[in-house]
Amino acid sequence: MIDHLPILPILIPMLGGLMMLLPPFIGVENYQYRRVASILLILLQVACSIWLILTIIQSGALVYAVGDWQPPFGIILYADQLSAMLIALTSVLGLGITLYSFAGTDREGKYFHPLVQFQLLGIYGAFLTNDLFNLFVFFEVLLIASYTLLIHGGGKQKTAANVHYVILNLIGSSLFLIALGTLYGTTGTLNITDMSLRITNLSESQAIVAQAGGSLLLVVFGLKAAMLPLHFWLPRTYAATSAPVAALFAIMTKVGVYCIFRVYTVIFGEQAGELANMVQPWVWPLAIASIVLGSIGALASPNLRTLAGNLVIISVGTLLISFALRTPEATAAGMLYLVHSTLITGALFLIADMIGQQRGKAFDRFVVARKIKQQSLLGILFFVAALTVAGLPPFSGFLGKLVILQAATDSLEKIWIWSIVLISSLITIIALSRAGTTLFWRNTPNRDTVDSLGFSKWQLCGAGLLLLASPTIVIFGASIIQYTNEAAAQLHNVQSVIEIMGLQEKTQ
C-alpha cells in the first residue's frame, strides 16, 4: 500500500467519481446518497494527502513509475514536499466547497459531485506528474470538468462566459501541444527531469528551437494562471459561475503558477546553460503589470464577485514576482502566499454569495439595496476575509506578504517589490472598504427583511472552514515556513531529483 501512495490522490477521486455515476447514486431523487459519498471521498482525500506529507517528510520525495515502466521512458509520478502541500491545499478547498454546495447548489444539476471529483482528479494529477505530455492530459481532464462545472445550473451569463472560456482554453491546448512537439523534437524526451539533463547538451540551433518551445509553454501556463495579457477571461468567468465552483477555481490559476515554477526551475533553471532562466526577463514586468492592472480592476469592480476575481489576478501577480526573484527563499515565500491566497479568495467568493442571496435583486452589486438579514455574522466574516486579503495583521495575508517582501535582496528589486506590493495592498483595502460600506451600511429605509432567506448551516460551515485557515496559518506559522523552505530547497535542488530517478548513469 505504501508503495502505491503517490497514485492514491489520483485513484480516489477517479474511482469515486465514476462510482457516483452508477446506481444507487444516480438519479435526481438520490442526491442524499451522492452527498454522503462525496463527503466521504473528500475526507479520504484529505487524510491521504496528510499521509503523503508525513511520508515525504520522513523518507524524502517519492517516485512512482506507472505500470512499472522505468524513467525516462515511462510516465513518472513524482511527489515532493511542494506537490504534497498543494494536494493537501486542494483537498481542503474541495472539502470547503463540497460542504458549501450542500446548501443547494449541488441540486441544480445531477452531476455536480462527480464533476467536482473529476476536477480534483485533474488538479491532483497536474501537481503529481513528472511528464510533460501527462501534464497536458491532466490539464485536459481538469479543463473538461471545469467547462461543465462552469455552466452548472445554466443561465445566460454562464453560457456567454463559458463560450469564451472554452474557446480560449482550446486554443491554449493547441499551443501546449505545439510546445510539447517542439521540445520533444529537440530534446527527445518528455520526462521533466530527463529534459533538464538533455537541455544542456543541445547544439546552438537546437537550443533556439527549444527556447521557442519553452517560451510557448509560458504562454500556455500564463493563460491558465491569468498572467497579464492573458487575464481578460478571468473576472467575467469567475463572476458568472456559481459560488462553490468559483471558489474551486481559485486553485486553477495556481495550477498554472505551479507549472511555471516547476518547468522553469527544473528544465530551464540555473543549470540549463544557454537557456538558464530564459523566461525571467519576461515574467518580471508581466508580474508587476498584473498587480497594477488587477488593482485598477479591483477599484473599478461593480460587484463583489468581480472584485474577488481581480484580487485573484493581484495574487497571481504577487506569486509571479516571487517566481521572478529565482531564489529558493523567494520560492518558499511564494508557496506560503499561495496557500493563504487560494483559501482566502475561495472563502471570499463563498461570502459574496452568502451576502448576495440576502440582498434581493441587487445581489452583490455595489448599489443601495435592502438590509442584510444576518448582518452581524456576515459582517464579521466579510471583515475577517477583507483584512486577510489586504494583508493586515494578525491574519495570514500579513505573514504571506511579509515573507515575500523579505525575499527581495537586491536594492532595485526591493524598491520595485516593496512599492508595488504595498501600494496594491492599500488599493485592496480601499476597494474592500468601499465594498463593505455599500453592502452593509447603505440600505433602503423601511424595507422588510423577513422574506429574504438566511444562509444555511452548510454555507456557514464551508465558508468558515476556508476562513479558519487564515488564523491556522498564523498560529502554526513557524512550522509552515520551515516546511515551505524545505519544499523550495527540494524544488531548486534539481541534481537530487536526477539522482532519485537514477537518470544520471543512463545518459552517460
| Binding region for other proteins (CB under 8 A) | 133, 137, 140, 144, 147, 151, 154-156, 159-160, 162-164, 166-167, 170-171, 173-174, 177-178, 180-182, 184-185, 190
In the complex with other proteins, the residue whose CB is nearer, 236 or 373, is: 236
Nearer to other proteins, 185 or 285 (CB): 185
Residue number with CB closer to other proteins (191 or 345): 191
Amino acid at 224: K
Taking the least distance from each CB to other proteins, the nearer of 150 and 439 is: 150
Instruction: Give least dist CB 206 to other proteins, A.
Output: 13
Q: How far is the CB of 181 from other proteins (least distance, A)?
A: 4
**Residue 444, helix vs strand vs coil:** coil
Nearest-approach distance from CB 20 to other proteins, in angstroms: 20
CB of 167 to other proteins, least distance (A): 6
- E strand or H helix at 314: helix 304-324
Question: Residue 313 is placed in which grid cell?
Answer: 489576478
Query: Residue 80 or 131: which CB sits closer to other proteins?
Result: 131
From residue 33, how far is each of 16, 106, 117, 438, 505 by CA, in Å?
13, 12, 15, 41, 53
Whether 275 and 266 have beta carbons less than 8 Å apart is answered as no
* Residue 208 beta carbon to other proteins: minimum distance, rounded to whole angstroms: 16
Q: How far apart are CA 469 and CA 46, in angstroms?
A: 14
Does residue 363 come out as left (phi exceeding 0), alpha (psi in the -120 to 50 range) or beta?
left
Q: How far is the CB of 440 from other proteins (least distance, A)?
A: 33
Q: Give the separation between CA 269 and CA 508, rounded to whole angstroms.
A: 21
Q: Which residues contact 501 (CB under 8 A, 6 or more apart)?
A: 63, 71, 72, 76, 78, 191, 193, 194
- Residue closer to other proteins, measured from CB, 46 or 144: 144
Query: In whole angstroms, how close is the CB of 311 to other proteins at the nearest point?
Result: 25
Dist CA 373 CA 444 (whole Å): 13
The C-alpha atoms of residue 286 and residue 242 are separated, in whole angstroms, by 30
Find out whether the peptide bond into 394 is cis, omega within 30 degrees of 0: yes
Rounded to whole angstroms, the Cα distance separating 283 from 135 reads 21
**Nearest Cα residue to 53 out of 81, 16, 89:** 81
Cell numbers for 303, please give them.
460587484
CA pair distance 400, 317, nearest whole angstrom: 14
- Smallest separation, CB 12 to other proteins (Å): 23
Classify residue 68 by burial, with Cβ atoms within 10 Å: 0-12, 13-18, 19+.
exposed
- Shortest distance, position 31 Cβ to other proteins, whole Å: 24
Give whichever of 187 and 315 is closer to other proteins, judged by the CB atom: 187
Q: How far apart are CA 432 and CA 422, in angstroms?
A: 15
Question: Count of residues for the chain?
Answer: 508
Nearer to other proteins, 168 or 292 (CB): 168
Cβ-based nearer residue to other proteins, 177 or 368: 177
Considering the complex, state which of residue 168 and residue 289 has its C-beta at the smaller distance from other proteins.
168
Q: How far is the CB of 493 from other proteins (least distance, A)?
A: 29
d(C-alpha 500, C-alpha 503), whole Å: 8
**Unique residue bearing C-alpha cell 479543463:** 143
